[in-house]
Amino acid sequence: MGKTTLVGAVSEIPPLTTEEEMTVASEGVDDLTGVERKTTTTVALDFGRITISEQIVLYLFGAPGQDRFWPLWNDLALGAAGAVVLVDTRKLDDGFASIDFFERRDIPFVVAVNVFDDAYHYEPEELREALTISPDVPIVMCDARQRESAKNALLTLVRRAIEKTPST
């Protein structure tokens, strides 16, 4: 949770969002366990852009995590420089599929732990063990509402992507 918020916090252009009110149609489809106060959900994707330097411009796509959106993920993964897997410790299990997705495709990623006031705060190594993340994958704490915090997660991703790029 928090992908729309993160894209909006860092985008230098007004972000394109597809956030809609949740209705009774989502009952039994979207699991709200642990996040019962959630009232909206992304129904397609979010898009934004941020310029890191004259050479690096990131196009940001926030894709919903539900299974029905996996075909969209496949399209977005084509040519992707990397990914931020935004996890919510109240629904930690939701992070496994995203992590597996990027690992299987050898796409550089970082895990950004979205910090919520009402969620338990784990140490990064506890999360690494719980999510079975390789020691070389960065874990950053992130408040998706705060521009600098969200930007730090993206900068960590850029560094990771550069490290994993084969030198020519």
Contact, 152 vs 142, CB < 8 A? yes
Look up residue 20 and give its two tokens.
């809609």
Q: What is the pLDDT of residues 53-99, one digit of tens each?
A: 898 899 999 988 777 888 889 999 998 999 999 998 888 888 999 99
- Write the DSSP string, 55-116: S-EEEEEE---SGGGHHHHHHHHTT---EEEEEEGGGGGGHHHHHHHHHHTT--EEEEEE--
| Residue whose C-alpha is closest to residue 107's, from 141, 157, 149 | 157
49 or 23, greater pLDDT: 49
Bridge partners of 108, per DSSP, are none
Q: What is the pLDDT of residues 106-157, one digit of tens each?
A: 999 999 999 888 878 899 999 999 999 999 999 999 999 999 999 999 999 9
Q: Which amino acid is at 73?
A: W
Contact, 6 vs 150, CB < 8 A? yes
Enumerate the domain spans of the chain: 65-164
How many alpha carbons fall within 13 Å on the CB side of residue 124?
A: 12
pLDDT at site 98: 93
Q: What is the pLDDT of residues 12-45, one digit of tens each?
A: 999 887 776 765 655 655 555 554 565 666 567 8
DSSP assigned state of 166: P
pLDDT at site 112: 97
Class for the domain spanning 65-164: alpha beta
pLDDT at site 94: 87
Write down the pTM of the prediction.
0.83
pLDDT at site 85: 96
Q: What is the pLDDT of residues 111-123, one digit of tens each?
A: 999 988 887 889 9
| Residue whose C-alpha is closest to residue 130's, from 97, 86, 89 | 89
